[in-house]
Amino acid sequence: MTYDKLSIGVEPLGDISDLDTYYENIDQDLCQDFVILPVINGSPEKSSLIYDPNTPFSLKDTVFKTSKNTYRVIAGLGNLKGDGKDWSYEMVERNSAWIKKQLTYVSYQGCTGVLLPEIESYSGSIVSLGQLVLLVLSDAELMVEILIRVRVAGTEEDIEKKWQLWHRVRTVFLEVEDVDLENIDMWSRWFAEPVACLSIPTTLFLQNSNGYPVLRPTVQRLLQQWMDYNVAIIVSEKKENTCQTNNAQLSDYVKYVRHLHHKLPKKSQDEILANTHRDYLQAPLQPLMNNLGSVTYEVFEQDSHKYIQYEEVWLEKNNAEIWGNQVKLVYADMREWSPPEKAHILASELLGSFGDNELSPECLDGAQSCLRSDGVCIPQEYTSYIAPISSSKLYSSIEAHGSEKYAETPYVVRFHEANRVAPTKSAWSFSHPISPDILEKSKREGSPNKHNQRHCSVNFSTSKSAVIHGIAGYFESSLYKDVRISIVPETHSCGMFSWFPIYFPLKTPLSIVPGSKVVVSIWRRSSNAKVWHEWLVEVFSNPVSKQGDGHPGLLISSSGIHNVGGSSFWIGL
Residues linked to residue 539 through DSSP beta bridges, in sequence order: 518, 557
505 half-sphere exposure, CB direction, 13 A CA radius: 28
Specify the DSSP class assigned to residue 315: H
Give the list of residues 6+ apart from residue 479 with CB closer than 8 angstroms, or none: 309, 310, 313, 378, 379, 380, 485
CA-based torsion, 320, 324, 325, 329: positive or negative: negative
Give the list of residues 6+ apart from residue 325 with CB closer than 8 angstroms, or none: none
Binding site: what residues are annotated? Answer: 297, 306-307, 316, 333-334
Q: Is 495 helix (H, G, I), strand (E, B) or coil?
A: coil
Binding site for S-adenosyl-L-methionine: what residues are annotated? Answer: 297, 306-307, 316, 333-334
Task: Please choose, from the candidates 477, 555, 471, 563, the residue with its C-alpha nearest in 3D space to the C-alpha of residue 525.
Answer: 563
Residues known to be catalytic: 349, 358
Q: Is 238:176 a contact under the CB 8 Å cutoff? A: no
Amino acid identity of 530? Answer: K
Task: Please choose, from the candidates 441, 325, 335, 318, the residue with its C-alpha nearest in 3D space to the C-alpha of residue 375.
Answer: 318
Whether residue 12 has a cis bond before it, omega within 30° of 0: no
Spatial separation of the C-alpha atoms in residues 133 and 125, rounded to whole Å:
13
Amino acid identity of 115? Answer: L
Q: Is 44:80 a contact under the CB 8 Å cutoff? A: no
